[in-house]
Each structure stands twice: as structure tokens, then as C-alpha cells.
Chain A
Amino acid sequence: MGARSQVLRLVRRASALPFPYSAPTTPGGVEPLPSKRKVGADYETDWARRFPARLARLALLEGVMRPSVAALGAPERAGIDRLSGLSDGPVIFAANHHSHLDTPVVLTSIPEPWRHRVFVGAAADYFFRNRLTSAVSALVIGAIPIERSTVTRRSADQAAELIDRGWSMLIFPEGGRSPDGWGQPFRGGAAYLSNRCGVPVVPVHIEGTDKILRKGKKVPNPANVRVTYGAPLRPMEGESTSRFAERIERAVAELADEATTDWWQARRRAAAGATPSLTGPDAPAWRRAWALGDRSRKRRRQTRSWPKL
């Protein structure tokens, strides 16, 4: 008998034990007690900023994450030179989000001096749903929990405090991975924190991770990945958070255009206000899926998805 089936048998046997040896079920019509939230948005991640955890994270980043990412995608980095005008102070990296691979791809491609002093804003309800995932998320990617359904004071305070202490932040303003290959509207978190802490936002576009491990897929397939860094953005005088968030989204869309065409075409379209939207056409699902082919670097240059009639 294989070890896997033995483990499964043990798990089945443990779950068949009677109460109180196994967890109780809740009777019908009774509202379950809200859990005492030591996980989720209330999870304390201070320990992950201490020296032993940082050392462990460095080892994991360089010893495990980087070789794994290289094996799957060997990301091509572009636009690093746009960050040269920045001081060594903290910044907010705001990227589009297709895949669980986005975080390791960006973390391993962020240039020094920010690479080893960065934390990730991660969905509280997903990455911090129990103590184990919370600890792993905090240790491996230095994550802090962010409520994605509402902007809570606790999430914002925690992020702002870390930025004030000199930590840079990686955030995916879409609030979750793309469900269909197209992007989602950017939320205001990055813009708000930039405004509050007075730090620049670096737009980042990730291309190709959806081919490796898109949402819903279990096994990764190697593919080409490109990470493009844009010019740092700062809130303008009198600019609201939502306006600034739109500007960040537009910047990422321009980087996407640049990644799928070339810099010049992208700039011309941007100047004409014709940069393709990250969120795709407002059309039924099948047409959105069809139009997705146009965004592929390969397809754009060689073939058309829609036949000429």
C-alpha cells in the first residue's frame, strides 16, 4: 500500500471519530460563532520582519523561489532603468495579476536595493485563512493581510507603518487573479498608501504567467514571462485617490501595450488615448475570450483570431 493511500486512510479514520475526538457539526438553524480572528486580517506579521525570518526568507527566495521561477518562466526584465531616478527609499510596486506565480516572479525580479526589503499585500481571506497558510505567507513572501472586500483601517495602518519603516510594498491592485485572462479594474489601495506615505508607485506589468499557471489550473506549464517596470508615479496636486488609481491602471495598460507591441507604438497609442484597456471589451464571455488572442505577442504579429470576411 502506498504512503499516500495510508495517509488518506488515517485522515478518513480520524474524521470518522465521534465528537469530542472530532470537530462538532453545527445544528441547523444555528448561526455559527464568528471565529476569534487570530488569522485573516487580524493575523500579526511582525515576526516576519525580524532578522531570523528575513534570513529564512532570503534563503527561500534565492535557494528555492528563484530556481523554480527560472525553471518555469525565466522572466525577461524590462524597464529597470526607469527606476534609476529613485532614491533608496521605499516604493510601492503595483502590478497586474494573472497567477500565483506573479508574486515570486516579481519578488525575484525586483532590483536592488528594494528586493530584500519588500512585503506583499495579500488577500486576507485567501492567504491568511488559517494559521498554517498565514505563517507560510508571512514567512515566504513577507505578506501582510489585506481585506479585499473592504478597505479596513487595520490593513491600511499595518501597510503604512511598514512603508514608514522603510519597507517597499508589492501590491496587486486588481484584488485577485484574473478570472478570464483579462485584467480587472484597479482598486485604490496603492494610490491611497502612496498619498498617505508620500512614496512613489512603480507600475509593473507581468506578461506570460497566465500561460504557466492561470487561475483554476493545478499543474504549471513552462512559458515565457516578461516583467516590465514603468516610470514611477506620484500623486499630483489635488488628485483624488480614485483618479490616481485610474492613472496607475492606465500606466500598467501602457506597459502591457508596450510588452505586446513595442515602445513606440505603445507611446503613440497612449498619446492618442487609444491604449487598449487592461480589462478587455465589454462583451459576452466568448467574445472576450476570442479577443484575448489579440493580446498575445505572437498572435498580434502573425495571425488574426477573427477571420476576414
Chain B
Amino acid sequence: MPRPGFVLDVDKSTPPILFHHGESFRLERLPAGRSRVVYPAEPLEPLEDVDAAIRHALDNPIGDSPPLRALLRPGMKLTIAFDDISLPLPPMRRPDVRQRVIEAVLDLAAEAGVDDVHLIAALALHRRMTEAELRHAVGDRVYDAFAPHGQLYNHDAEDPDNLEFLGTTRHGEEVEINKRAATSDLIVYVNINLVSMDGGWKSTATGLASYRSLRHHHNVRTMQHSRSFMDRHRSELHSSNWRMGEVLRNSGVKVFQIETTLNNDTFGTSGPLSVLQKREWEWTARDRAAFIAMKAGLDRLPIKARRKIFNSWQAPYGVTSVQAGEVEAVHEVTTQNTFAQQLVPVEGQTDILTMGLPYICPYNVNSVMNPILVMCLGLGYFFNMYRGQPLVREGGVVIMSHPTTWEFHPVHHPSYIDFFEQCLAETTDPLELEARYEKQFAEDEWYRHLYRTSYAYHGVHPFYMWYWGSHGLQHVGKVIIVGGDPRAVRRLGFSPASTLQDALEMASDVVGRDATITHLHNPPLVMADVS
């Protein structure tokens, strides 16, 4: 029986706590008596027979939807869209659950005599997936059957010939999605719900959309009014996507949504990284030896070698649920299943929130975690891992641990470089950045070209990353990065600190000397239900 997550009150017997620190780790002793640590739950038991669960979900849909086989008929136009490389994190071991679901869907399509089938990686403005990444996601059988015939490809949000404008929401938001999907008789969306933000109408309305459509919810105002975007019912981001879903539905776009949830088995229960998934006082002699050896080895390796090692890690995630049918009904169940794994009750807010940022976020898979992504992961994702109210009080301090090197992947993140060098040198205010620079980057022909033909994130993407953290920026009084490159950290508008003790000393200027501290022991993923 897996143990639930819990909040540890730090006392003098508490051993130093693990902080992820990019491609390495730190062990930090938190002050006794005023610190607490939010620990994630242990991995839930995975489904014993995933394929049977998928078949059952397809035959027994949730909400107002017939079974999938009843929706399939000869001569129809079927589009299967699936989540891109940003999910799950790290990538899961083969077979990826997307492959299992897609194969099950295609089995039914074949039985029903459906010939016109396209598969689209719903990547919105993310970089295109490489052949190897597509093969990993959908499996070799599916890739070899569809990709050579041009029936398996990445969504292109900048291809005017392949976008379909479907109308505007009651709030004036334009809805434009992939033409093939919009004109299909049925879209089957295959999702992986790693966090509660994923899924629902966001899958189609964001994943298959164009910049014209995305800008209506990927903006500072929406993000600042999403409290948090991990809680759909209090998220303006989701409200906007749900309104767009309404437009899709009213336009006659039929979506059969298939959502899956994974457990917390990010680093495995055995093997070299399993120690990262254990509570520190439960580390055995073997765990400690593995940790010491791993850290000593990593600290002596050049950064490229370290990155290669971490990027090769594939998580042994177990599938905990599969549900299919009508989008909103499916998503309600999915969200509950995600919460069952990740939600931990926490009493009250804290003055200082600490977090160790790992080597990966949704936008640097097989890539480099540049300073903008550090900000996005810390103030965007980790800060927003709450329901109710933020873990840190308004005006409090966030302390993040990450090397934050001045380094960018030139192929994946070209516009990030210019955003960092030019825009952030002028201002770090999200509203000002949005007003002054967004349009210029979004419509830049070179970035557009690189997005469409190379493997670059869209020109506007670094802005979205900055907006992602805008609620956090607005909420906290100070952000400190421990162990980061001081130049890069200052460019982000944050304060660098060499050690956690220094950071706590600096934080005391803002929140006083007896400030309470909460550490979010993440990953494996944990979400605070703050009362």
C-alpha cells in the first residue's frame, strides 16, 4: 500500500533535505522549529493490464458519448492527435502509453474499415518532434505504417493553408485549429495527464491551435488570473480553453477524448536514481553510497556529459487510469485521478518557499535548461503546484536551487537567446515585455521559418514562459536562486546566493528573522492543497 504524501515538521533530528540542482543535487539542512517539507506520495499501484483498461475505456465511454467503435465507419475522416514531447517528464519507458492507446484505436478503426487516418503531434508552438521522438511516442509499428505516407506528422501552427478558423467565443477569443483535425469526422485525442493542468479542452484548443488563437489565453492577464492553472476551476487559462471548446463543439468538431494518468514512479524503486524517490531518513547504506558516488561523479563531469546522462533517463511510470469519451466528463475523472497521486494537504501559507529545480521541464527535453526555463519551472510550474492558495504568502520569498547557466540550445531556443539578451536587459515586467516585444517576436519571419522547418520553439515561446511565471512574480516579494550564475540570475531580475544559508539571510530582510519555511520536495510531483 503506497504511503500518501505528508508534511514533515523539521526538527533537530531531521537529516539534510535533498534539493534537485539541475544536473546535480544539494543536501540542505533546514532550520529546525520553523521549517517544514512537503513530501510527495509514493507511486500508486499501476494498472495490472493496461491494454485491457484501454479497451474497456474505449468500449465504456464517460459522459455523453457512444463507444468509440460506434463512432467509426467506412469512408470517414479520422484524425488521431496526441500529446507531444513535453509529456511526460522525463519521457517514459517504452511502450509509451500513447502508443498503446493509439494502437488500440487503430485496431478499432481497421475493424470498422476506416481508411483515411492521420496522426498529428499536437505541439502548438513547441518545437517539432524528431523521428526518434515520434517513434518513441507512437511506437515503431504506427510510425512505419503512417509516417512514410505523410499521414503522421507534427502540427504546424504557422501553415496558413492548413489552419481552419472556426469562430470566436463569447469573450471575443478567436478559435483557429489544424484544418485536417477541424474538418475530420472525428478527432480522437490521446493524452497523458502528468499534472492537472493537462487535458480537457486544452488538448485540442491549445495543442492544435495557431498563434492567432493561442494569444487569447497565453498572455499575462490570463496567467495572473489563473490561481492556479493547476486548478481548472480557478484557472482563467482553462476557462478560456473551455470557451474555445464550446466553439469547437458548436462548429461540429467531434472529439473523442482519451486521457491517461501516470503514477509518481519517476526514478524507480530500484536502480541508480531510486534514492531520489526516497525520504532522506529512509536512505539505506546502499542508497547513501549510491548518492555519494553519483554526486561525486556528476560534479566531476563536464556539463554536456551530465546532460547526456540525465537526458537518457526514461521513467518507469505506471499507468494508473485510462478514461475515454466526452471531453469534459473525461477530464473531471482524470483530474481526480491525478490529484489522488499528487495532492497533499498543507495547513497555511509560508513566508519562504524553497524548491530544488531538476534538470528537466516541459520545454527542454533532450535540450538545455536555459535561464528563462529556470524561471518558468520555478515560478511557473512549481509555484503553481497548489490548490486553494499559494504555498508562499503574498510578499513572501521564493528560494530556488539551480545552476542557471547562461546557456541556450541554439537549435531549440533561438528566440530565447534574443529575448534574454535584448528584452530582459530592458525590463523583466511581463506586461511591459508583452506590450513592447511580443508581436515583434511572434511575427518574425526567421523565427517562423525555424519553427516550421527546423526544431525551434516558436518565436513567441520565451514570452509565454515569462508569462507562465507572472502570477508568481506578482505574488512574491523576492526571488533568490542558490548556486546560480550571478550574471544570469541578475538578468532574470532575481538575487543570486551561494548557499541556502546565505539565501535565508537575504530573505530575512524581506520576511524577518523568524520566517517560516516550506520546502516543496519535488520531483516526484507533489501538489499542495493549501488550506
Chain A proximity mask over B265-281: 1 for CB below 8 Å, otherwise 0: 00000000000000111
Measured in the bound complex, the distance between the Cα atoms of B281 and A18 in whole Å is: 13
CB pair B15–A24 under 8 Å, yes or no, is: yes
Q: Does B388 lie at the interface of the complex (its beta carbon under 8 Å from any beta carbon of A)?
A: no
Q: Which of B5-13, B152-160, B327-335 is found at the contact surface with chain A?
A: B5-13
Taking the closest CB of chain A, its distance from the CB of B288, in whole angstroms, is 4
Question: Given A27-B281, A30-B281, A33-B282, A21 and B10 touching (CB < 8 A)?
Answer: no
Q: Is the CB of B16 within 8 A of A19?
A: yes
Closest to A26 in B: B281
Q: Are A25 and B13 interface neighbours, CB within 8 A?
A: yes
- B425 part of interface (Cβ distance < 8 Å): no
Residues facing B in A8-56 (CB within 8 A) are 18-21, 23-30, 32-33
A contacts with B: majority SS:
loop
Minimal beta-carbon separation of A25 from chain B (angstroms): 4
Nearest neighbor of B39 in chain A, beta-carbon distance: A30
The reply to whether A29 and B9 form a contact with Cβ atoms under 8 Å apart is yes
When distances are taken between beta carbons in the complex, the residues of chain B under 8 Å from A23 are 285, 288
Q: Is B11 in contact with A27, judged by CB distance below 8 angstroms?
A: yes
Q: Please tell me if B427 contacts chain A, counting CB pairs below 8 Å.
A: no
A25 to B10, CA, bound (A): 12
B291 at the interface (CB under 8 A from A): yes
Contacts of A29 in B (CB 8 A): 8-9, 11
Assuming the A-B contacts A19-B27, A20-B283, A33-B282, are A26 and B13 also in contact, with contact meaning beta carbons closer than 8 angstroms in the complex? Answer: yes
B292 close to chain A: CB less than 8 A: yes
What residues of A have a CB within 8 angstroms of the CB of B285 in the complex?
23
| B531 at the A interface (CB under 8 A) | no
Closest to B292 in A: A20
| Residue of B8, B14, B287, B292 with highest tally of chain A CB at under 10 A | B14
Question: A137 CA to B16 CA in the complex, in Å?
Answer: 37
Give Cα distance in the complex from A23 to B280, angstroms: 10
A28 and chain B: residue at smallest CB distance: B11
Q: Which residues of A contact B288 (CB under 8 A)?
A: 19-21, 23
Residues of B280-314 contacting chain A, CB below 8 A: 280-283, 285, 287-288, 291-292
Give A19 to B291 CA distance when docked, in angstroms. 11
Q: Interface residues of B, CB < 8 Å — how many?
A: 19
Q: Is the CB of A24 within 8 A of B280?
A: yes
A19 to B281, CA, bound (A): 10
Min C-beta distance of A51 to chain B, whole Å: 31
The answer to whether B8 touches A27 (Cβ under 8 A) is: yes
Contact of B10 among A18, A24, A27 (CB under 8 A): A27
Could you say which of A21, A27, A29, A30 has the most chain B C-beta atoms within 10 Å of its C-beta? A27
Choose among A20, A25, A33 the residue that contacts B27 (Cβ–Cβ < 8 A). Answer: A20
Contact with B along A273-308 (1 / 0, CB 8 A): 000000000000000000000000000000000000
Q: Chain B 11-46, CB within 8 Å of chain A: the 1/0 string? A: 101111000000000010000000000000000000
Q: Would you call A21 and B292 a contact (CB within 8 A)?
A: yes
Question: Closest approach, in angstroms, between the C-beta of B316 and any C-beta of chain A?
Answer: 19
Complex Cα spacing A228 to B11, Å: 58
Asked whether, in the complex, the Cβ of A25 is within 8 Å of the Cβ of B281, the reply is: yes
Q: A17 → chain B, closest Cβ, in Å?
A: 11
* Interface contact A24-B281, CB-CB below 8 Å: yes
Q: Chain B contacts of A18 at CB under 8 A?
A: 16
CA–CA, A1 and B16, complex, Å: 35
Closest Cβ of chain A to B453, distance in Å, is: 48
A207 CB → nearest B CB, Å: 44
Q: Report the Cα distance A27→B13, complex, angstroms.
A: 5
Q: Tell me the bound Cα distance from A18 to B10 in angstroms.
A: 17
With a CB–CB cut-off of 8 A, which chain B residues contact A19? Answer: 15-16, 27, 280, 288
- Chain A residues positioned under 8 Å from B15 (CB to CB): 19, 24-25, 27
A26 to B13, CA, bound (A): 6
Residues of A contacting B14 with CB < 8 Å?
25, 27
Which residue of chain A has its CB nearest to the CB of B14? A27
Contact B291 A32 (CB under 8 A): no
Contacting pair B283 A24 (CB below 8 A): yes
Chain B residues in 8 Å Cβ range of A25? 13-15, 281
Q: List chain B residues, Cβ under 8 A from A28.
A: 9, 11, 13
A28 to B292, CA, bound (A): 25
Residues from chain A with a CB closer than 8 A to the CB of B287 are 20
Nearest CB of A to B296, in Å: 11
Query: Which residue of chain A is the closest to B291 with respect to CB atoms?
Result: A20
* Chain B proximity of A131: nearest CB distance (Å): 11
Question: What separation, in Å, do the CA atoms of A21 and B15 have in the docked complex?
Answer: 12
Bound Cα distance A23, B284 (Å)? 7
B422 nearest CB across to chain A (Å) = 44
Which residue of chain A is the closest to B11 with respect to CB atoms?
Answer: A28
A138 to chain B, nearest CB (A): 22
Q: What residue of chain B has the Cβ atom nearest to residue A27's Cβ?
A: B14
Contact mask B451-463 → A, CB, 8 Å, 1/0?
A: 0000000000000
Between B10, B281, B283, B288, the greatest number of chain A beta carbons within 10 A of the residue's beta carbon is seen for B281
Q: Is the CB of A32 within 8 A of B16?
A: no
Nearest CB of B to A148, in Å: 27
Residues on B with beta carbons closer than 8 Å to the beta carbon of A30: 8, 279, 281
Whole-angstrom distance from the CB of B427 to the nearest CB of chain A?
A: 43
A24 to B281, CA, bound (A): 5
CB distance from A93 to the nearest CB of B (A): 39
The smallest C-beta distance from A132 to any residue of chain B, in angstroms, reads: 13
Closest beta carbon of chain B to A306's beta carbon, Å: 53
Q: Report the bound CA distance from A18 to B16 in whole Å.
A: 9
Residues of A within 8 A of B27 (CB): 19-20
Chain B residues in 8 Å Cβ range of A24: 15, 280-283
| Cα separation A29 to B27 with both chains bound (whole Å) | 21
Q: Give the CA-CA distance A30 to B282 in the complex, in Å.
A: 11
B181 to chain A, nearest CB (A): 49
In the complex, 15 of the A-B residue pairs with CB atoms within 8 angstroms, ordered by the A residue number, are: A19-B288, A20-B292, A21-B292, A23-B285, A24-B15, A24-B283, A25-B15, A25-B281, A27-B10, A28-B11, A29-B8, A29-B9, A30-B279, A30-B281, A32-B282
Apart from A21-B288, A21-B292, A28-B9, list 6 A-B contacts with CB within 8 A.
A19-B16, A23-B288, A24-B15, A27-B14, A27-B15, A30-B8
List residues of B whose CB falls within 8 A of some A CB: 8-11, 13-16, 27, 279-283, 285, 287-288, 291-292
* 4 interchain residue pairs of minimum CB distance: A24-B15, A20-B288, A27-B14, A25-B13
